[in-house]
Chains A and B, each alone.
Chain A
Amino acid sequence: SAVISQKPSRDICQRGTSLTIQCQVDSQVTMMFWYRQQPGQSLTLIATANQGSEATYESGFVIDKFPISRPNLTFSTLTVSNMSPEDSSIYLCSAKNPGQTYGYTFGSGTRLTVV
């Protein structure tokens, strides 16, 4: 299975600023996903990121707020823009494991607190 390095692991940010979260995969993967986990809640898919095309966003999430880059098959970033306290969450990236139909690996998560 792929291994994902996600950073930062945690951050405390001022409202109105932006934070970029990075995920580096140790192998080439076609599909990567970004999830948000609000405090005490389950994981919600933000978007699917494929290399060479724009990310596909789920209902309730927009590119201006959560721009995503996927410059190659091993890397992706998610930016949380113009942050407010409501953006305080854990953000996780995920990748579809090469050669597996529905095998996914998750990064270790970024715990974001907006003050």
Chain B
Amino acid sequence: AQKVTQAQTEISVVEKEDVTLDCVYETRDTTYYLFWYKQPPSGELVFLIRRNSFDEQNEISGRYSWNFQKSTSSFNFTITASQVVDSAVYFCALGGFKTIFGAGTRLFVKA
């Protein structure tokens, strides 16, 4: 069975702090994709990153970075120097034919 676990339900940080959102997945597929999405209070889903199972290189995009470790089935997301606008719910997802979403982590960034 496929499963995505985001153990952190809510995280609260002060602006400019770094924050890491954890994601652990389970799958028997050898080929799969992992995603991170942001859902601001307005409700739309914003795509952040897609990573395939053969590419374990970490990725950095501005203040965002992702650490993919196949050995521990984890795909963690770090926001550096967080800002109030980063406040949102973040979903990790596992994609094959269908996309399975984690429960989400609600991030509060206080000024």
Contact = CB atoms under 8 A, between A and B. Distances in A.
Interface of A: 1, 33, 41-45, 48, 90, 92, 94, 101-109, 111
The secondary structure that dominates the A interface is: strand
Interface of B: 32-33, 35, 37, 42-45, 47, 50, 52, 91, 95-96, 98-99, 101-104
B7 to A, nearest CB: 13
A109 B33 contact: no
Contacts of A42: 91, 101-104
Contacts of B32: 102
A44 B4 CA distance: 12
Nearest to A107: B44
A24 B55 CA distance: 33
B37 to A, nearest CB: 8
Contacts of B37: 106
A102 B45 contact: no
A23 to B, nearest CB: 13
11 contacts: A42-B91, A42-B103, A42-B104, A43-B91, A43-B101, A45-B99, A102-B50, A104-B99, A105-B47, A109-B44, A109-B45
